[in-house]
Amino acid sequence: MLYRIAAIKTLLLSLFFVCYSLQTFAQDDKKNEVLGRRPNAITTAVPFLMIGPDSRTGGMGEVGVALPNDMNAQHWNPAKYVFSDKLGGISISYSPWLYGLGLHDIYLAYLSGYVKINKLNAVSLSLRFFSMGEMELRDYLGENPLGDGVTVSPHEFSFDVAYARKFTKELSMSVAGRFIYSNLTTVSGVSGTTEGIKPGLSGAADISLFYQKNLRAERLYKSIIGFGVNFSNIGAKISYSTNMERDFLPANFRIGTAYTMYIDKFNSLTFALDLNKLLVPTSPIYKTDTNGIIVRDGKGSPIIESGRDPYNTSVVGAIFTSWYDSPYGFAEEMSEFIVNVGLEYAYNDLLFIRAGYFNEAKTKGDRKYLTVGVGIKYSIFCLDASYIVPVNQRNNALDNTLRFTLSFDLGVPIVPKASL
């Protein structure tokens, strides 16, 4: 019993020190002032693709690339599906958006599922829908409604399909294709409001790897370690007008690890750590005059004082230059990593208690919050819920909001034996 208590203490202390180190990882205001830094958050089109859709990972600080037994791996790392001991599964998630501000028609809905063809292959798909509610269009001053009170319902959705293949007993790979539709500005019935405006359309691909291995655990019932890598949303730029610049998709690099220790046959602890970085250009510093107005060259283009021109960078080029294009150098480049840590306790695969921490540097958005979550599983059904607790003054769209996920197992697979 003593070795089990010691193992739990070691894991909890590791989580504490990781969380503590995150505070030093982010740059504080005084350091920014000394180094001449300023907020320089990276923005992309269709950011809804980066929202963690499910409540299990939502309760664990949004870790997921290496988390085992993940019904919603389609978003985090589809290569994990071939390690499932089930024939397949279906998951439905619902996340209210800005609910704390009294808005009840903005939400993210997510449907995902997978099926194992055999022990070596699996296919999966998902549908993500983001509703921005109903809005009334008004004139430039916001005083008078357009037409006879025109309302619009902006929305976005994506649909993707993935194939996963296990190459060895411990290693698998997955590729996914994604269709993206973003209707933010299209209006009908009002003269002049639709000129040159169109819904944004694009396509993207994901490539992911997953490694999972059972470790020798003389003083534990068993232990498992996993590593995951996912390059997601690698695709063509998107535009909402025939005469506007095309914007980057939120191409992202995610890497992480997860360790599960089974203290005995009924109790287990999982510790997970993820690192994320957007693979898109960082905004440069533009040259300004004494009045703070951007100086332009003879062609009308703004003059870059430090950094790289994002408008002359291709999607493929950005994947490489995004690692060294920050105008403030290496320190700013490192601050672009988002750090996620999570912990899950499971009892007999029936009851789950979760906690986590999400950390983003102050100059890159300053999102910092704790997460908590619970899960209950009965037979083939599992219900998960998660909640966000902010730790700074920056508002989060999910503050004081419960998110829910309902999932269904399709049973233990009956497949032909296959050897690697």
Q: Which two tokens stand for residue 150?
A: 């025109």
- Measuring CA to CA, which residue among 233, 272, 264, 262 is closest to residue 249? 233
Give the DSSP H or E segment for 175.
Answer: strand 171-183
Q: Where are the domains of the chain?
A: 2-409
- Residue 4 has a pLDDT of 45
Beta bridge partners of 183: 155
3-state secondary structure of 382: strand
Beta bridge partners of 277: 253
Give the Cα separation of 53 and 47 in Å (integer): 13
Residues in the chain: 420
- Measuring CA to CA, which residue among 13, 35, 58, 52 is closest to residue 371? 58
Q: Which two tokens stand for residue 311?
A: 């408008």
Say yes or no: domain 2-409 is CATH 2.40.160.40: yes
- Residue 394 has a pLDDT of 65
- Residue 417 has a pLDDT of 52
For 133-251, strand residue ranges (E) read: 135-136, 151-152, 155-166, 171-183, 200-215, 222-235
Give the Cα separation of 12 and 19 in Å (integer): 11
Spans of the chain below 50 pLDDT? 1-36, 188-192
Neighbours of 72 (CB within 10 A): 28
- Residue 361 has a pLDDT of 92
Phi, psi of 122 (to 5 degrees): -150, 150
- Residue 312 has a pLDDT of 84
CA dist list (Å): 283 to 242, 244, 312: 23, 18, 12
Looking only at Cα atoms, what is the longest distance across the chain? 76
Please state the pTM of the whole predicted model. 0.84
- Residue 134 has a pLDDT of 78
